[in-house]
Chain A
Amino acid sequence: MALNKNQQLLSKIATNDRHGENSPYFDGWKAYDKNPYHPIDNREGVIQMGLAENQLCFDLIQKWIRGNPKASICTAEGVHEFKNIAIFQDYHGFKEFRQAVANFMGKARGGRVTFDPDRIVMSGGATGANETVMFCLANPGDAFLVPSPCYPAFDRDCGWRTGVQLIPVNCDSSNNFLITKAALEAAYERAQQDNINVKGLILANPSNPLGTVLDRDTLRSLVSFINEKKIHLVSDEIYAASVFSTPSFVSVSEIIEEMECDRDLIHIVYSLSKDMGLPGFRIGIVYSYNDAVVNCGRKMSSFGLVSSQTQHLLASMLSDDEFVDNFLKENSERLAKRHSLFTKGLEKVGITCLKSNAGLFVWMDLRRLLKEQTLESEMTLWRVIINEVKLNVSPGSSFHCSEPGWFRVCFANMDDVTVEVALERIRVFVEKQQVKNVTVEVALERIRVFVEKQQVKSKRKFQSNLKLSFTSRKYDESVMSPHMMSPRSPLVQART
């Protein structure tokens, strides 16, 4: 049979584009895969800064695993437990595992809330957890509101197989990307008008890609919003323990303790991929306050069950209070150090980031390097960064950011030396941009000097000459406007 005939035999899911891997976010990964940086073997390669992975505390985990050979069951010390572990395929998961995860989730929220192990539902990573929640809450064609910029793979995780659509709620830099009730209302109203059934609101807190945490007031307004509309709130809190400075993280689980709220509407997604830096272990958790969702999600666990060997290993690791406490402390200290190293390095070359205190990335502001304030211009700049600067960063457009010029840069998946290499590349790039502009700048400077002289002359002549000063200002504006849309132009800052 001809191949194209066979293509027709496939489902829409197999042939449509909703996996999202054709977006620039994944293009950057492909560029990295083709030519990955290596400090010795491939020093000109692309540095991966598009992957939110935490490798800063591997040594701690490695030490623990070596120190506790019993836990991995494939060792002489652990082999007698092999039989019971290997046969275990209950989708509830080991009781010890659920208990340990519940404890860890509490600790990751500063011990201010406790979690019920019987509500811990396993899933294949946060990817699987988000999908499970969607399968449980919405029918094909229903919609979820998502404050944007948002995690690029939400589309795939929440929509690909479930048929659920995501409606962005645009946030922008004018108020530091805060989610306002007005914006939510507007998006909700619009969806209503388009006859779309909005089933809920999904968001990441701490935010990916912003690296910020939601403040208490915002959270309260979100909870009251979803309560008024009787829609669900899915809070993706996979970076809960990756908060490294003040303000501290507030989980939705704390908010619902403080205010009136229909708990059936609240669902938390968690994972050990970010906070423990263990994405290879594929631990995703759905924690729902809704019994029907727990019940249904648990049955869906069969499609993304965590290996019993891995459950056993983690149950022992996470029950080791001393280890966990030390790990959480050390992890946030190391993240803080890395964040400061990276952002200070950027500041030196005049690049600022949105002020952040969480996550494994920064939200870098390159608006002043755009030729025009458009998304096309953002893509042009992004291609230059990938192909010439050889850094795989992710453009704001792939996070559905409506404002061009923002980029997410991950900083925790590499060692200090690589960070320095990346910073050096950025410095060279920014300087090159300045050299390109240097003729303009020199010309500008000369003009300014000329104009000043003229002003002095005319002042002397006529004491006050409004006409001349007016034209000079007009002249200034017309020369500088293409590069000076924002007050933080490279021309201004680079001089200091």
Chain B
Amino acid sequence: MTRPRPRTPESESETRNPTGGGATAMRLIVPLQGVVQGRGGLILGSLIPCALFYFFQLYLKRHRSPKPGSNPTSPSQSSSNLSDLQRSSSRSNLSSRGSIGPVQVSSRASSIAKPNDSPYYIGLDRVSGDPYDRLDNPNGIIQLGLSENRLCFDLIEKWLSENTKDSVMGRDGADLSIGGIAPYQPSDGLMEFKVAMAGFMSQVMGRAVSFDPSQMVLTAGATPALEILCFCLADPGNAFLVPTPYYPGFDRDMRWRTGVELIPVHCRSTDNFIISITALDQAFNQTRKRGIKVRGILISNPSNPVGNLLPRETLYNLLDFAREKNIHIVSDEIFAGSMYGSEEFVSMAEILDMEDIDKNRIHIVYGLSKDLALPGFRVGVIYSFNESVLVAAKKLTRFSSISAPTQRLLISMVSDTRFIQEYIETNKKRIREMHDLFVEGLKQLGIKCAQSCAGLYCWADMSGLISFYSEKGELELWDKLLNIAKINVTPGSACHCIEPGWFRCCFTTLSQEDVVIVIERIRKVAETCKISS
């Protein structure tokens, strides 16, 4: 696996405690051992102290949890602040639960401590507590950690006001009525919406790729789409190979409830973080040696967090590899329309359109959260060529269907091809402008970014600013950026990047004036870093 997870101060104090207790115990036991050894021989002499030591440790363990900070008299008190999602809340919660009796929640619930350990989530929580606002909170934290696109709402609002309806039910006397939104609908999405989404996806992919609505399953966002695919393709304990750096949310989406492992396959800056088949093969063999079954490869293309595209050649190689090992490929193409470079984006679907073989192992994930900037509407797509996966996935969408009024609202918008064309083009142009502005600003501070041409972020190399070339150094800088510069970026370690010092910065939530402020804030931290190093 990758580097060890960062420890919060709380957990450090917790782990230090038993060793302290152990040392006291040794002071007591060593002379005791001498006494016993003198008379009772070797076996007795080692057995008794060992047992004593064991029980003493047990005693310490039992009495440990109330010590570090948490209040022993009211254990549930510490966890009552639900909205307060600070890094230690879930953990202190669990340790206090452990001390009052048998653990009653599931081990799955206990593992909630994990996702929140990641600086990715810690940062997001910090921003929600103190968000920057030019007028109301100019000293707040600026959000660069969430890949959200706020550049084109004016276009959508304009469309809505021109195509205005009386309500989600359409005009009086129109076909749509309360009967079209209130009752049970097919859980895998309305057919009209699938047709509209298929058209939208073809348009976004920009080339002659066609999508068949009958191969489509709609879910409440890409998050459940990924989880449903994972539930379909792998059993608990199986694994997916994932090129790093990868989207921090994959750990939650693919691993948490499914019990499936994600095996990082490291990519290097020297290759501009493009996956190599050699590394993939190596990871596959190592995983197999550990007795773990590899069920597939999970890629994001365009890549999140790097923002580069997988070349056509690499896609063919991946297909060959998957065929050779008889495993699946899940291709997350959620940023397919958020392009700003001149390179061509090649969807897995396009490769399969031409190669008429072996489609059963390919599954594409898409959604409207990025390319149409509607994350609140929760629209995700599973596009698969595997009939059995589609059948199972359809049944699984009962747990995460899209709200019918939202589907109705989107059908007409997404099917308006002229509007969509205009939207895609303007969106690309605006992302490019923001990208150029942001990257140029970083460049002036001596910070270079990886070559990229898609996504709502750039992948910045700040290794020149870190004091130790390690994860520790990276997290120190991240902490400074969060607490001193007051900007929330995502450190490479949260994306399982093997090279320290890389940060993902999302720029599409900013205005051009904000960019100036952000660069200025980074400059201040960068200067202190240079002085101290």
Contact = CB atoms under 8 A, between A and B. Distances in A.
Nearest to A81: B157
Interface in A82-103: 82-83, 85-90, 92
B231, B238, B376 — most chain A CB neighbours (10 Å): B376
Interface in A102-116: none
A351 B148 CA distance: 60
A368 interface: no
A267 to B, nearest CB: 11
Interface stretch (A10-18, A39-47, A331-339): A10-18
A282 B257 contact: no
B153 A86 contact: yes
A6, A12, A138, A293 — most chain B CB neighbours (10 Å): A6
Interface string A123-140: 011011001000111111
Contact of A307 (B108, B164, B376): B376
A295 to B, nearest CB: 6
Contacts of B90: 295
Interface in B104-122: 104-109, 112, 115
A124 B360 contact: no
A51 B166 contact: no
Nearest to B406: A307
A419 to B, nearest CB: 17
Interface in B170-190: 172, 177-179, 181-185
A347 B395 CA distance: 38
A1, A282, A296 — most chain B CB neighbours (10 Å): A282
A347 B153 CA distance: 60
Interface string A213-232: 00000000000000000101
A292 B97 contact: yes
A118 B83 CA distance: 7
B235 A124 contact: no
A1 B358 contact: yes
A278 interface: yes
Contact of A293 (B105, B257, B369): B105
Interface string B362-384: 00000001000111111000000
Contacts of A365: none
A175 interface: no
B373 A304 contact: no
Contacts of B168: 65, 72, 74, 313
A13 B258 CA distance: 10
A310 B257 CA distance: 26
B108 A295 contact: no
B231 A14 contact: yes
A56 B169 CA distance: 18
Contact of B403 (A13, A230, A282, A294): A282
Contact of A62 (B76, B169, B409): B169
A83 B157 contact: yes
A380 interface: no
B223 A13 contact: no
Contacts of A89: 148, 221, 369, 375-376, 378
Given A124-B400, A280-B185, A75 B164 contact: yes
A125 B290 CA distance: 40
A279 interface: yes
A279 B184 contact: yes
Given A12-B235, A65-B178, A280-B181, A232 B388 contact: no
B377 A86 contact: yes
Nearest to B180: A280
A308 to B, nearest CB: 3
A127 B252 contact: no
A136 B164 contact: no
Given A69-B167, A230-B102, A61 B358 contact: no
B386 interface: yes
Contacts of A265: 104
B220 A83 contact: no
B405 A280 contact: yes
B156 interface: yes
Interface string A295-321: 110111011111111100100000000
Contacts of B399: 124-125, 127-128, 131, 157, 161, 303-304
B243 interface: no
A55 interface: yes
A309 B392 contact: no
B108 to A, nearest CB: 6
B306 interface: no
Nearest to A16: B392
A277 interface: yes
B182 A307 contact: no
Nearest to B83: A118
Interface in A378-437: 413
Nearest to A74: B409
B232 interface: yes
Interface string B5-18: 00000000000000
A240 B4 CA distance: 49
A279 B233 contact: no
A118 B232 contact: no
Interface string B45-64: 00000000000000000000
Nearest to A69: B167
A442 interface: no
Contacts of A237: none
A264 interface: yes
A23 interface: no
B427 to A, nearest CB: 14
A485 to B, nearest CB: 38
B33 interface: no
Contacts of A1: 323, 326, 358, 360-361
B205 interface: no
B150 interface: yes
Contact of A82 (B115, B156, B221, B232): B156
A66 interface: yes
A230 B104 contact: yes
Contact of A3 (B184, B224, B360): B360
A72 B156 contact: no
Contacts of A19: 392, 395
B345 to A, nearest CB: 24
A119 B227 CA distance: 25
Nearest to A77: B164
Contact of A53 (B104, B112, B184): B184
Contact of A295 (B93, B183, B402): B93
Contact of B182 (A90, A280, A296): A280
Contacts of B369: 89
Contact of B224 (A139, A157, A303): A303
B19 to A, nearest CB: 28
Interface in B77-101: 79-80, 82-83, 89-90, 93-94, 97, 101
B181 A13 contact: no
B204 interface: no
Interface in B394-430: 395-396, 398-406, 409
Given A3-B360, A66-B166, A136 B108 contact: yes
A310 B252 CA distance: 25
B236 A75 contact: no
Contacts of A125: 398-399, 401
Contact of A58 (B178, B253, B373): B178
6 contacts: A55-B183, A66-B172, A86-B377, A136-B105, A280-B181, A292-B79
Given A230-B102, A296-B112, 8 more contacts: A14-B231, A61-B182, A86-B376, A125-B401, A295-B93, A302-B224, A307-B377, A309-B409
Lowest 4 CB-CB distances: which A-B pairs, in order? A308-B376, A280-B404, A14-B392, A62-B178
Interface of A: 1, 3, 5-7, 9-15, 19, 21, 51, 53, 55, 58-59, 61-62, 65-66, 69, 72, 74-76, 79-80, 82-83, 85-90, 92, 118-119, 124-125, 127-128, 131, 135-140, 142, 156-157, 161, 199, 230, 232, 264-265, 273, 277-282, 290-296, 298-300, 302-310, 313, 413
